[in-house]
Structure 1
């Protein structure tokens, strides 16, 4: 998306103010409020993009590596997921809000392509800026005056430089979760996925990324097994926890182990994240053991 966006001129007195304000309020209400929208919308975008990149299966780590058809599909996926998130019905265009047919347009670039059937209709504008991990959610009435004179072979027009002023932003330059795999060194990713079993890959993940919160979906992707949570439990000496305990490494859950995570001085870990750490001192080992995370005695003897 463009780094510098003009301020919105959608205010009382603007011909589109009443309509766009009503649609914005309805979207915000349906999402559970402005705070919930700012949390759920970015997470939804991240999931849509990552589910197409499929790093664990394909080895790809970025949007730029996708095929053209896959990039197009992300837009379709965003449309479907946004309707589901807001509990909106399908309409003559992509959806219907407060009795108005509304088109949903998504871009990973700096502009949107508006089809002829959406001219003079309200549009939801969605954008994801992958390199900067920023996202956008806005509304516009796609009037010809706001669009470029030129069009592509499908007769679609983009929003003109002046037309950007006529967007009402619900979220603008909003941070969203970065692609977990994109920011890791290539050799680290390769080492994690070299494991020939779910336990081996999981051990590689938590061994390589100690002290770093790891989202639940990453754990699921690395395990690549139906009961992925079993991979990070103790399992008769063969589970990931058991393997790493022999190396003095514990795996903690944000939901269950918040107090221990704080006591060990580790990074904040949300309820749906996990974090691993090497226990290098006897005091840390005793603290973890008292919280139900003992390490193996033979390692403790060596520490």
Structure 2
């Protein structure tokens, strides 16, 4: 999304006030409140994008690696997921809210393409900025004067610079979960995926990216197998925990090992996250062993 979004002129005297304010209230109420809307839309976008990237199956790790048709499909997924999230029915356009036909438009770029059938109708605008991990959710009545004069081969027009001023924002420049691989050290990521076996990739993941929460989806992507959790377990001296235990590194689960994570002064982890760290004292080595995570600590 473009960085310099003009301030909204939406207010009590706006010609679309009565339509958009009631749509905003209905959407927020259906979501369970503004906080729930912020949370659920953010995580919905992350899931929609990651499900199309399909790192465990394809080895791709970013939106930029997708085919053109796959990028288009993300918009379809967002439309479907958003209708489900808000419990909305289909309409003449994408959905119907309070008797209004509403078109749901999604973009990963800087603007939305409005089809001719949606001109003059309310549009629910969704945007995801992968580079910055920021998302947007807004409402606009797609009046002709809010659209560009130019159009593409499908006769779709985008929202003009002036039109941006007439968007009622529900979420604007709001954070959503970043693509994990964008936030990781590039050289470390290359080393992880250069390994030939699942165990080697998994051990390298937790060796290279210590002291930071690693989501379950990243673990699955590295394992590249259905029973990906097997790669984390001890396995007769060959599993990830066996390999790293010999290097005094423990791999902990967010929910199961929450107390040990806190005791080792590591960042808090969610229930579906993992974290690793190198044990650096005899006291912590004993603590790890008592918690079921023995390491090859030298005896005095």
Same fold by TM-score greater than 0.5: yes
Counterparts of 2:6 and 2:173 in 1: how far apart (Å)? 12
Query: 2:65 matched to which residue of 1?
Result: 65
Deviation, 1:271, is 2.3
After superposition, give the CA deviation of every residue in 1:232-265 in whole Å (9 maximum; x if it has no partner).
2334444322222222111112212222212211
Deviation, 1:202, is 1.8
Kindly report which structure 2 residues correspond to 1:244-259, keeping only aligned pairs within 5 A, or say none. 244-259=244-259
Aligned residues of 2:59 and 2:221 also touching (Cα < 8 A): no
Query: 2:297 matched to which residue of 1?
Result: 300
Counterparts of 1:143 and 1:122 in 2: how far apart (Å)? 9
After superposition, give the CA deviation of every residue in 1:37-69 in whole Å (9 maximum; x if it has no partner).
211211211222222233444443332332222
Query: 1:278 matched to which residue of 2?
Result: 278
Are residue 204 (structure 1) and residue 204 (structure 2) matched?
A: yes
After superposition, give the CA deviation of every residue in 1:118-163 in whole Å (9 maximum; x if it has no partner).
0111111011112211110111111112111221121111111111
Counterparts of 2:250 and 2:189 in 1: how far apart (Å)? 21
Change in 2 beyond 3 A, CA 1:45/1:252:
same
Counterparts of 2:82 and 2:47 in 1: how far apart (Å)? 12
Aligned-pair RMSD on alpha carbons?
A: 2.0
Deviation, 1:117, is 0.6
Kindly report which structure 2 residues correspond to 1:221-232, keeping only aligned pairs within 5 A, or say none. 221-232=221-232
Larger mean CA deviation between 262-271 and 61-70 belongs to 61-70
Query: 1:233 matched to which residue of 2?
Result: 233
Q: TM-score, normalised by structure 2?
A: 0.92
After superposition, give the CA deviation of every residue in 1:46-105 in whole Å (9 maximum; x if it has no partner).
222222233444443332332222221221121122222222222221122223221111
Counterparts of 2:65 and 2:94 in 1: how far apart (Å)? 28
**Unpaired runs of at least 5, structure 2:** none
Kindly report which structure 2 residues correspond to 1:126-145, keeping only aligned pairs within 5 A, or say none. 126-145=126-145
Deviation, 1:171, is 0.5
Aligned residues of 2:56 and 2:223 also touching (Cα < 8 A): no
Kindly report which structure 2 residues correspond to 1:25-44, keeping only aligned pairs within 5 A, or say none. 25-44=25-44
Aligned residues of 1:56 and 1:193 also touching (Cα < 8 A): no
1:162 match: secondary structure: helix
Counterparts of 1:96 and 1:285 in 2: how far apart (Å)? 59
Aligned residues of 2:56 and 2:220 also touching (Cα < 8 A): no
1:35 match: secondary structure: helix
2:298 match: secondary structure: helix
Query: 1:157 matched to which residue of 2?
Result: 157
Query: 2:10 matched to which residue of 1?
Result: 10
Query: 1:217 matched to which residue of 2?
Result: 217
Counterparts of 1:277 and 1:188 in 2: how far apart (Å)? 16
Counterparts of 1:117 and 1:169 in 2: how far apart (Å)? 23
